[in-house]
Chains A and B, each alone.
Chain A
């Protein structure tokens, strides 16, 4: 009789154990003057500044963030779809060519994808100086590759029988693509595209925190001056935008996915996107922040072999990689484990609604700002960085978990209630059990996103590859930068591969499963 059988529902909760060392370290470093400041920050939630100047400044910042996000999103969607098609095996199969080309393109795209938009932003900033296009390009590069990966994965998972049938009937390749690939991929583009716009807004906000303008800069400046009421004005405005955007995207997707008038709907969608891009471009130009003439190309000292060699010897690789992995491990534990743990311990509807509000704001505040808030009251270290990254991502995982639970039927819950189980046990067995494979599949993906994101909180952590990356960038140490970037890419790609394997084995376990992760960004 096998005594140990660790089930998927418990695996979703177990990672929360990482909160213990993190909490102990944060509490041990607490200084009470800082706690008072944090109290003021929390109270600011209820009392945002209503000063006209502050609101106007926040709105201006938001417009720039939105314009940046819309342009980078549309570029990445357009480029990503094309790259996705040409990096799929099925595309080359239709053209009767070797799918090795697809493999080669996928391998090449993996490298820019493995580098976080913040790192792209900081590198471009060093090369061309401050300009809105820096943020746009910084987001567009990794996002295009992410979209390409999703599209090619989805295309290759399609049933290839219709393709073979059309080819056998003598249809031209372009017609085969239009008939057998476009119809099934359009709903995925619609659904994934909406999600990517939300990511682009979050990305543009984050870049703002690092001085690239927009609402992120507003948040950073107000935090630096401890003007929490003003900070909350920006957060409320940003929250309102995200709320409206989410509802609008859902409504639009629902309408688009209804049968009929495909051509008309597509025309409307493209027209709206075109108008949004035009407005964004006009905004950027009107404010003189996107002028191409402002580009000043600074030369990069391409490192030679001996510089690379000495940088390789100087860098403390074991510590850098070890800390990056530790940071990822701790942050992933918090991000994955705390949402189900919280909902299990407090399963009431009131708490569930309250935590949803908390998650909304935690998603809005970029992790470096959460980290900066924390270092007001505790000592900066890797645990603080892990906590900041972890709770920001736990808000993303939490929303996902709640959406999955809300979508499932009530039969399982009824069955557990009828045994007389208490509310916590009912939630664990009735609500969490069924969705745990899907949740863990998303968690596997989130973990590889977290490896990339460690660079974002690297400064607060004071260690790890992310920290070294930013250090090398600010000291123009191109040899170290090149090596650290390479190491970062390798770790990210290994992580991506491991998470892909974990995800597919988890989803295989789920019987009669038609679910496929499409949101990988």
Chain B
């Protein structure tokens, strides 16, 4: 991200953001609500147009990359964005749409296909096989969140941009999901993105990441390796500002 500004309805969402993410980095994105974390993730995946500056992916402007390159950027949305009209399996499969053709997309709407891949992703996300046939509106909030996680890993991207992916989960599942997203657990041969940017509200988890970026009022105020982030800085981020 180079000199990135995002202004929406005269509100400055992001101001002068300069971030370079290297392959293999596991980044925790911190900040109070409204600090600009979601906007930063949307700008990173190219769904928000910057008012100034640019976002480059492998040296190319993210707004102009091909669909194939776009599929390398997997996003886990804060509001999940699951398709209510499809069942769990079909939703998980929709993560793979970027690498498939129209015919495959149509087949996925007719029934459950590539079930083994689906089951692997679902199980990795802590979902039981039996849930795959259920409609989205029949499952709980926590289950929906894990379906979204399964869908994101089904995409097999190179980088994962996750916006508060663990907000509806219990403590045990939080640890499990963070380990999954950071590639710390064995996962049945599923390709987990090597590079991860995760926004969260649990600063106690930053020790699992290699780097911490913190935002406040749309600006980067902390950007350092996670082991250098002090408790004081965290308190300052959440309480003193």
Q: Which residues of A come within 8 Å of B, CB atoms?
A: 1-10, 13, 411-412, 414-422, 424-425, 428-429, 433-434, 436-437, 510-511
Q: B94 contacts A5, CB within 8 Å?
A: no
> In whole Å, how far is A244's beta carbon from the nearest beta carbon of chain B?
33
Q: Which residues of B come within 8 Å of A, CB atoms?
A: 42, 45-47, 67-75, 77, 79, 81, 83-87, 89-90, 94-102, 105-106, 109-112, 115, 129, 132-133, 137, 155
Per the bound structure, the CA–CA distance linking A424 and B100 in Å amounts to 12
Per the bound structure, the CA–CA distance linking A411 and B82 in Å amounts to 10
Q: A2 contacts B47, CB within 8 Å?
A: no
Contacts of A416 in B (CB 8 A): 94, 97
Q: Which of B72, B87, B106, B155 contacts A428 (CB 8 A)?
A: B106
Q: A9 contacts B85, CB within 8 Å?
A: yes
Per the bound structure, the CA–CA distance linking A433 and B132 in Å amounts to 19
Q: B68 contacts A420, CB within 8 Å?
A: yes
Contacts of B90 in A (CB 8 A): 5, 7
Contacts of A412 in B (CB 8 A): 81, 83
Q: Which of A3, A4, A7, A414 contacts B85 (CB 8 A)?
A: A7
Q: B83 contacts A420, CB within 8 Å?
A: no
Contacts of B45 in A (CB 8 A): 418
Q: A417 contacts B77, CB within 8 Å?
A: no
Q: A6 contacts B110, CB within 8 Å?
A: yes
Q: B109 contacts A419, CB within 8 Å?
A: no
Per the bound structure, the CA–CA distance linking A230 and B69 in Å amounts to 53
> In whole Å, how far is B9's beta carbon from the nearest beta carbon of chain A?
16
Per the bound structure, the CA–CA distance linking A277 and B148 in Å amounts to 58
Q: A511 contacts B110, CB within 8 Å?
A: no
Q: Which of A1, A417, A511 contacts B70 (CB 8 A)?
A: A417
Which residue from chain B places its CB closest to the CB of A14 in the assembled complex? B110
Contacts of A420 in B (CB 8 A): 67-73, 97-99, 155
Q: A418 contacts B73, CB within 8 Å?
A: yes
Q: Is the interface of A mostly helix, strand, loop or mixed?
A: helix
Q: A1 contacts B112, CB within 8 Å?
A: yes
Q: B111 contacts A419, CB within 8 Å?
A: no
Contacts of A433 in B (CB 8 A): 83, 85-86
Contacts of A425 in B (CB 8 A): 97, 100, 102, 105
Q: Which of A419, A434, A436, A510 contacts B155 (CB 8 A)?
A: A419
Contacts of A414 in B (CB 8 A): 42, 47, 81
Per the bound structure, the CA–CA distance linking A419 and B98 in Å amounts to 5
Q: Given contacts A5-B111, A412-B83, are A419 and B71 in contact (CB under 8 A)?
A: yes
Contacts of A437 in B (CB 8 A): 85
Q: A429 contacts B112, CB within 8 Å?
A: no
> In whole Å, how far is B80's beta carbon from the nearest beta carbon of chain A?
9
Q: A511 contacts B84, CB within 8 Å?
A: yes
> In whole Å, how far is B106's beta carbon from the nearest beta carbon of chain A?
7
Q: A421 contacts B77, CB within 8 Å?
A: no
Per the bound structure, the CA–CA distance linking A417 and B155 in Å amounts to 12
With A419-B94, A420-B97 given, name 16 new contacts (CB 8 A): A1-B112, A1-B132, A2-B111, A2-B112, A3-B112, A4-B110, A5-B89, A5-B112, A411-B79, A415-B81, A417-B46, A420-B155, A429-B83, A429-B105, A433-B85, A434-B85
Q: A1 contacts B133, CB within 8 Å?
A: yes
Q: B112 contacts A9, CB within 8 Å?
A: no
Contacts of B133 in A (CB 8 A): 1-2, 5
Q: B129 contacts A1, CB within 8 Å?
A: yes
> In whole Å, how far is B47's beta carbon from the nearest beta carbon of chain A?
4
Per the bound structure, the CA–CA distance linking A418 and B70 in Å amounts to 6
Q: A418 contacts B75, CB within 8 Å?
A: yes
Per the bound structure, the CA–CA distance linking A412 and B129 in Å amounts to 26
Q: A10 contacts B109, CB within 8 Å?
A: yes
Per the bound structure, the CA–CA distance linking A400 and B157 in Å amounts to 37
Contacts of A419 in B (CB 8 A): 70-71, 74, 94-98, 155
Q: List 21 A-B contacts (CB under 8 A).
A: A1-B132, A3-B115, A7-B85, A7-B87, A411-B81, A414-B47, A418-B70, A419-B70, A419-B155, A420-B67, A420-B73, A420-B155, A422-B101, A424-B102, A425-B97, A428-B109, A434-B83, A434-B84, A436-B85, A510-B84, A511-B137
Per the bound structure, the CA–CA distance linking A6 and B106 in Å amounts to 10
